[in-house]
């Protein structure tokens, strides 16, 4: 009887041992699978991050190259246009000042344009009267790269040489003229002085006498 009980106990111990071994094996397999999954996740993250960095570096290099090629051209064109526009506005302001000062002081004034030197001068009608009209003796030069393209005086014979003179009278009259200024990039702006009121207008393009 005792032998039978002992055999039953031994059988139970063997079954429990096999059960524990199976559980331990299954636990080890689960741990191995978890470790493998973690390693795969880490590897995938590392690969994805490395690809993103490489892609980012390529994009940055492309943008830097494009900027180095395009920006100088764009900025250069903008600078040239701003210089041309500034010269047009400045010369137009001098012409309007000459018209107003001549009428206010009742003295004739002359605006002299030097096409070779790209310079201008507003002074009295006589050579000795360089500061006529209460401080009207203004002089200056066009911006760098800006030149006189042409100066056309309406109703007056063409003046020889590269010196052109525009008259402003005490009655508010001015020589009608079309002054074209050109930038180094080929753009042309115009200043139009109309008679008899001597109105001064600027245009962002070339203006002919027929317009």
| Residue 5, SS3 per DSSP | helix
Closest CA to 97 of 138, 131, 130: 138
Per-residue pLDDT tens for 161-196?
688 999 999 888 888 999 999 998 889 999 999 877
Whole-angstrom distance, CA of residue 166 vs CA of residue 191: 13
How many CB atoms sit inside 10 A of residue 174's CB? 26
In this predicted structure, the answer to whether residue 24 has a pLDDT above a threshold of 50 is yes
CB 98 within 8 A of CB 90: no
Is residue 6 over pLDDT 80? Answer: no
**Cβ–Cβ < 8 Å for 84, 147:** no
Q: For 43-102, what is each residue's pLDDT tens digit?
A: 555 555 555 778 788 888 888 877 777 666 665 567 888 999 999 999 999 999 999 998
SS3 95: helix
Question: Domain 91-203: which topology?
Answer: minor pseudopilin epsh fold (3.55.40)
- pTM score of the predicted model: 0.61
Q: In the structure encoding, which two tokens stand for residue 111, read together?
A: 């605006």
Q: Quick one: pLDDT at residue 28?
A: 52
Q: Where are the domains of the chain?
A: 1-59, 91-203
Strand order across the 188-194 sheet: 147-153, 177-182, 188-194, 199-203
């Amino acid at each position: 009887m005792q032998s039978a009980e002992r055999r039953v106990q031994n059988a139970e111990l063997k079954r429990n041992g096999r059960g524990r071994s199976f559980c331990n094996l299954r636990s080890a397999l689960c741990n191995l699978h978890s470790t493998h999954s973690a390693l795969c996740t880490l590897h995938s993250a590392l690969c994805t991050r490395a690809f993103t960095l490489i892609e980012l570096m390529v994009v940055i290099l492309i943008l830097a190259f494009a900027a180095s090629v395009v920006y100088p051209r764009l900025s250069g064109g903008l600078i040239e246009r701003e210089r041309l526009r500034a010269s047009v506005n400045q010369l137009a302001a001098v012409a309007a000042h000459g018209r107003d000062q001549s009428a206010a002081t009742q003295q004739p004034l002359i605006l002299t344009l030097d096409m070779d030197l790209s310079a201008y001068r507003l002074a009295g009608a006589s050579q000795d009267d360089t500061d006529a009209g209460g401080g009207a003796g203004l002089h200056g030069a066009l911006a760098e790269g800006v030149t006189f393209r042409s100066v056309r005086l309406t109703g007056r014979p063409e003046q020889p040489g590269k010196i052109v003179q525009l008259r402003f009278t005490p009655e508010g009259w001015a020589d009608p003229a079309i002054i074209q200024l050109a930038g180094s990039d080929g753009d042309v702006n115009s200043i139009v002085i109309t008679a008899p009121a001597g109105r001064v207008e600027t245009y962002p393009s070339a203006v002919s006498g027929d317009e």
